[in-house]
Amino acid sequence: MSSLRMTLATQMVLRSLLEKPAEKRYGLELCAEAGLQSGTVYPILTRLEQAGWVQSAWEDPEVHQSEGRPRRRYYTLSEEGAAQARQALAEISSRQARAIWARPRLQAERGQA
Amino acid sequence: MTTSGSRKERREAIRASLRVPLAALATDLRRVNADIHSSYGFDRHGRGTARLRVRRSVIRLKVVWRTLLAALMPAPAARFQVTFRSSRTAADRAEGRIARPLQIASCLLPAASRDRWAEEWRGELAVIRGRWRRLRWALSTLRGLVCQAYILRRSTRRSASSDEAITG
């Protein structure tokens, strides 16, 4: 597992994946859920897959053949990936919370100085 | 695309729908013709009645003509012999014009993952409804493709260099 750069878009994708971690989702669905464009989501999915946070698999052939369309690639969070994603998001949110609390104190210190 | 069987069926349906209005049109034409001919022989006082009769026939003729036109032209496609596709299938959408640039641009990706991504994008294109939506999606994907190619190639390079280091 490698450390990932947690950009805002990555966080959004991870949050949408974490909403239903066991559920399989395809790229377009993730784009809609995260509210991001495909050009942002696919590179993120690629990075997540390389880091081992996300697993992907092709759709069941019977389903796409019966619907008469090309097969889809479904993405799911791996167990380790889900744990790491939760941890990373929690770290970010605690850091943000700290930053919010620290701001008035810093401003007060600056004001005294 | 429409098949020859469906075209034949459509032609038969048009023929069947034309039979009644054509017969009515022929009868009315005969009537109008008779009215016009009879009006020539009328004297000054009888001309008004003859004109009225002709006008009525013309109105009837117009109705028949409209019915005939409606039967003749059920859709612009039938009129101009063009086969419009009212609803494109998923396979059409996946193999359409918008899919081609993506197919070409996938050459930027490493050869190992090229087919996989191209197929995945085709699968997504098949689901998106609306030409503009598909185009917007394709443009966005193309924009992200450069970044994706960089990520994939970097990892390929890394794995290759680690293999070299292991083998010595």
Assess contact for B104 and B54: CB atoms under 8 A. Answer: no
Around Cβ B14, how many Cβ atoms within 10 Å? Answer: 14
| Interface-testing mutation among B92, B113, B124, B129, with chain A (most A C-beta atoms within 10 A) | B124
Closest CA to A72 of A21, A28, A19, A17: A28
Q: What is the pLDDT of residue B166?
A: 55
User: Which chain B residue has the Cα nearest residue A2?
Assistant: B155
- Scored b (16 or more CB within 10 A) or e, B38-69 reads ebeeeeeeeeeebeebbeebeebbeebeebbe
- Tens digits of residue pLDDT in A23-65: 899 999 999 989 999 999 999 999 999 999 999 999 988 888 8
> Could you give the strand order of the β-sheet that contains A25-26, starting from the edge strand earlier in sequence?
A25-26, A73-77, A54-58
- Tens digits of residue pLDDT in A63-102: 888 888 889 999 999 999 999 999 999 998 888 878 777 7
Q: What is the pLDDT of residue B101?
A: 86
Q: What is the Cα–Cα distance from A27 to B122, expressed in whole angstroms?
A: 12
User: Which chain B residue has the Cα nearest residue A26?
Assistant: B124
Q: What is the pLDDT of residue B36?
A: 64
| Per-residue tokens: B96 | 């359409």
Answer yes or no: do A73 and B123 touch at CB < 8 A. Answer: yes
The whole-angstrom distance between B30's CA and the closest CA on chain A is 55
Q: What is the pLDDT of residue A75?
A: 95
Q: What is the pLDDT of residue A50?
A: 92
| Interface-testing mutation among A1, A42, A45, A74, with chain B (most B C-beta atoms within 10 A) | A42
Interface check A65 vs B, CB under 8 A: no
Task: For chain B, give the percent of residues with pLDDT over 70.
Answer: 55
Answer yes or no: do B144 and A40 touch at CB < 8 A. Answer: yes
Look over chain A and give the mean of its residue pLDDT values, rounded to a whole number: 87
Q: What is the pLDDT of residue B138?
A: 92
Mean pLDDT by 10 residues, chain B (168 residues): 64 75 74 65 57 66 67 54 55 76 89 91 87 90 92 80 60
Q: What is the pLDDT of residue B44?
A: 55
Q: What is the Cα–Cα distance from B50 to B55, expressed in whole angstroms?
A: 9
Answer yes or no: do A28 and B124 touch at CB < 8 A. Answer: yes
Partner residue opposite B148 with nearest CB, options A46, A70, A72: A46
